[in-house]
Amino acid sequence: MRKLFTQLSLLTIFLLASCRGRGSVSTTKDIMDLVSPEPDPYQEIRLRMVESQIEARGISDPAVLTAMRTVPRHAFVPDDLIDDAYADSPLPIGYGQTISQPYIVALMTETLKIKPGQKVLEIGTGSGYQAAVLAEMDVDVYTIEIIPELASQAQDMLIRLGYANIHFLTGDGYFGWEEFAPFDRIIVTAAPDHLPQPLANQLAEGGRLVIPIGPVGFIQTLWLFEKLDGKLTATNLGGVRFVPLTGEH
């Protein structure tokens, strides 16, 4: 989103310079009336979502809260579900996939303990919402989606919203993205029945990996893996329910 505002600022300067003396546009206010985005009718609903669903459950990282307040979740759900975009639940996005519950997005993001400038791998682009939240935190996001239609839709939306720090790949996320490894942080938004070894291998020293693991159709466990001295330590973060990680693994 910051990238979009920068682009708008540059456009403003260009228009001011080109329109001076023409009599049609003479002030910065006139220019901003032309280039400013329309007011977001969901802003108040989004702020209430963060307060009641996320802060109230203990999420406190300021960067995470700012990202959740900023990203327009309604832009990532099907048109017929826009009125439910900020509900306290996951929503279907087609192809047997879902956009995660807002609290789970915030919880997993906070657990990563992201620092600006880091390289983050996301497995399961889905709607693109989680990638947008990550991108708001001044990191480089590498996101993989196995379903071509979802990958295309998410990429189109994220580009329209002005995110220039997200890299896209259509493929099987089980194998990670070796070309750009290692990654400081890895987040997996679908559940395999075990920790994929390629992802463990691609996690940088001192890195953190958050992933749901468990059988399809049952309660799974959300795990945090940390790599210290080349070894992984695991922390159980509790029960969750995710769609399965698909692929040929």
Give me the active site residues, please.
100
CB 186 within 8 A of CB 119: no
What is the DSSP secondary structure assignment for residue 170, as one 8-state letter?
E
Residue burial 67-105, b: 16+ Cβ < 10 Å; e: rest:
bbebbbbbbbbeeeeeeebbbeebbebeeebbbbbbbbb
- Angle ∠(132,190,60) on CA atoms, nearest 5: 50
Distance, in Å, from the CA atom of 95 to the CA atom of 90, rounded to the nearest integer, reads 15
Burial class, 24, CB count within 10 angstroms (exposed 0-12 / middle 13-18 / buried 19+)? exposed
CB 86 within 8 A of CB 73: yes
Distance, in Å, from the CA atom of 222 to the CA atom of 210, rounded to the nearest integer, reads 7
CB 45 within 8 A of CB 86: yes
CB 101 within 8 A of CB 92: no
DSSP annotation string for 91-139: EEEETTEEEPPHHHHHHHHHHHT--TT-EEEEE--TTSHHHHHHHTTS-
